[in-house]
Amino acid sequence: MFGQLSTLDKAAVDSLLVQKNYREVIKIYKSQGNINTLRSPENLSIIGQCYESINKEDSAFFFYKKALKEYKKIGNKKNEAEINLEIFSLLDSQKKLSVNPTPYFNAFYEYAINSNSKEMLAKAYNNLGITNFSAKNVEIPKEYFIKSLAIYIDIDSIKQQANLHSNLAVLHINRTKKFDSARLYLNNALQLLKQDNKTDHEELFYVYNNIGNSYLKESKYDKAIIYFTRADSIVIKTYSLNKKRLLYENLVQAYAGLKKYDSTYAFMKKLDSIKEQLNITKQNTLINDVKEKYDNEKLRSENLALDLKRTTNRNLLFAALGMLILGSIIFSLIQKNTKRKQRIAEQEREIEIQKTEKVLKEQELNTIDAMLVGQEKERKKLAEDLHDSVGATLAAAKLQFNHLSQHRDKLDTMDELFSKTSILLDDAYAEIRDMAHLKNSGVIAKNGLLPALQKLAKNASSAHGLQVIVENFGLEQRLESTKEITIFRIVQELITNIIKHAEATEASVSLTPHEDELSIIIEDNGKGFIPRMIIDKSGMGLASIERRVEHIDGTMEIDSTPGNGTTILIDIPL
C-alpha cells in the first residue's frame, strides 16, 4: 500500500522529475506497493502528470480524476481548480479520449472569477494564449497574453511578467515577423529577470538566445552573435546538451552568414560532439555545406607534396583496413561456429517453455469455458423448473377454480377449497419470485451490452435501496457477442459484491472506448476494504472475476481502503 514516501524516495522523485524521467518516477511509486491504493491527492496528481508525459492519456485522465475527487473530499478549492486546468489541458491537446474538455476549464475559470484570485485569472488567460498560439488570427493569442500580463503587473509578479513578455516576443518572431517588437518585449523580460534575485540563470539563457534568433532571422549576423555569445556564457544545469545544440546551430548559421569559416567550423565541431553524445546521427544540411566549403579552402592551400603524402597514407590505410577486415572475418567465422550450438540449445529451451505455457493457457481457457457452459446449463434448468414446477402448481390452482365455478352452489367445503387455492397461488408466486432473481443474458443478445447494464443498474437501484448509474463516454457499437456476455457477467458480479458487502448508497459504472481497448470503471462510496486481505472464502469472488478478465486478455486494478469506498479499473482489448 502507498504510504508517505521516505526522504530518500522523495528526493529521488524530485530529481527524476527535473530530469523528465517519468517512467522511473512511476516505478518508484509502484515499488511502494499497489499503485491503486494511493490516496494522497498530491501524489495522484504527480502520477497523472507522469502518465500524460509518456502519452498514456487514459491513465493520466484516471489519476487526475482521482486527485480531483480527493481534493473535493478535503475541500481544497484552489487545488481542485488547478486539477481542473490540468484535465482541460490534457483533453484539449489530444483526440484519444472522447470527453468534452470545456466543463473542466469552465470550472477552473469560475473559481478564478468567484474567488477574486487575480493569479488564477492570469493563468487562465496565459493558458488560452498558449492553446490558441497557432490560431489563424494572431490577435487572439496576443490579446490573451496581454490580458494575463496586465494582471501580473498589477500583482507585481516579476517572474511571470518576464514569462509573458517572452511569450509575446516568440509570438512576434514566429507569427508576425515584427522583430523590433519582439526585441522590445525580450528587453523588458531581461530587465525584469535582472530585478528578480531568485531567478535561475537558465531563464536568461532563453532571453539571450531569442534576441539573437530575432537578429538571425533578419540576417543581422554580427548582432545575433553578440547575444548568442552571451547565452553561451550562461551556466546550464538541466538539459544542457539540448540547449547547447540549439545555440550552436544558431552560431553556425550566423558565422556562415558572415563567411567566417574558421569560427563556423569550430562551432560545427562542438555541435558534432554534442550530437554524438545525444546519439544524433543525421547531420544538419547547413553544417555539411559549411564543412565542405572549409575543406575546399583548406585543400586549395595545400601543395602537391602534401597531396602525394595523403595518397600514400591512404593506400597504406586501405591495406591495413583490408588486413583488419580479413582478420575480422576469420575471427567472426570461428566465433559463430563455437556459439551456434549454444544458440540451438537456447532455442530448444525456449520452444519447450512456449509449449508448457501453451498447455497451461489451454487448461485455463478450458476451465473458464466449462464454467460458462455450466452457467448456461443452470439457466436451462431454471427454465425447465419454471415449466414443470410453477406450471404444475398453476394448473392445480386452475382446476380448483374451475371446480369452484361449476359447483359453487353445491359445495359444503367452500372455505377449505378457497384456502387450498390461495395456498397454491402463494406457492406459485414464491417459486416465480425466486426464479426471477436468477441470471440470464437474454437482454444482452437482443439489445447489447449498454442496455443490459442500464437495466441491471435500474434493477439494483430499486431492489436494494442503492442508486446505481451507468455513464457512457462514447460506446456506440456492439461488441462481439461472447465478449459482451463476459463483460456483463463481470460487472454483474461486481454490482452483486457492492449490494452484499459494500453498504454503499451510490455506485457508478463508466464505459470509455479507445482505439484498441475498452476502459470500465466501477466505483462505490461504501465501507471499502484492504484488497490483499480479501480471499475467496469471503464470498466476494474477486479471484474468479480477475480470471474472467484475463480470459479475454484484459487487466484489472483495485483501489480501496477502509472507509473510502472502492474503485475498480478494467481495461479490455477490443
Where do the domains of the chain lie?
A: 7-237, 304-436, 442-573
Q: CA-to-CA distance for 465 and 504, rounded, in angstroms?
A: 9
CATH of 7-237, one of 1.25.40.10, 2.60.120.10, 2.30.110.10, 3.30.930.10: 1.25.40.10
Is 252 within 8 Å of 232 (Cβ atoms)?
Answer: no
Reported as a single tens digit per residue, the pLDDT across 291-315 is: 434 444 444 555 455 556 777 788 8
Is 397 within 8 Å of 421 (Cβ atoms)?
Answer: yes
Model pLDDT, residue 159: 84
Model pLDDT, residue 533: 74
Higher pLDDT, 526 or 515: 526
Model pLDDT, residue 525: 92
Q: Which of 145-154, 159-168, 281-290, 455-464 has the lowest mean pLDDT?
A: 281-290
What cell does 543 get? 479471484
Q: CA-to-CA distance for 212 and 352, rounded, in angstroms?
A: 64
Reported as a single tens digit per residue, the pLDDT across 1-50 is: 334 454 446 777 888 887 778 888 888 776 765 444 456 888 888 888 88
**pLDDT confidence bin for 256, thresholds 50/70/90:** very high
Q: In CATH, what number does 442-573 get?
A: 3.30.565.10
Taking alpha carbons only, the member of 502, 493, 522, 513 closest to residue 573 is 513
Q: CA-to-CA distance for 85 and 125, rounded, in angstroms?
A: 12
What cell does 115 get? 474567488
Predicted TM-score (pTM) above 0.75: no
Q: CA-to-CA distance for 469 and 454, rounded, in angstroms?
A: 8
Tell me what percent of the residues of the chain surpass a pLDDT of 70: 76
Reported as a single tens digit per residue, the pLDDT across 428-463 is: 777 676 665 444 445 565 678 899 899 888 888 854
Reported as a single tens digit per residue, the pLDDT across 189-230 is: 888 888 876 555 678 888 899 999 999 999 999 999 999 999
**pLDDT confidence bin for 356, thresholds 50/70/90:** confident
Of 249-258, 271-280, 533-542, which one has max mean pLDDT? 249-258
Q: What is the mean pLDDT of the chain?
A: 79
Model pLDDT, residue 198: 58
Model pLDDT, residue 522: 95
**Amino acid letter for position 382:** L
Model pLDDT, residue 220: 93
Average pLDDT over residues 410-428: 72
Higher pLDDT, 384 or 116: 116
Residues whose CB falls within 8 Å of the CB of residue 140, separated by 6 or more in sequence, listed in order? 132
Model pLDDT, residue 119: 87
Is 36 within 8 Å of 557 (Cβ atoms)?
Answer: yes
Q: CA-to-CA distance for 428 and 392, rounded, in angstroms?
A: 9
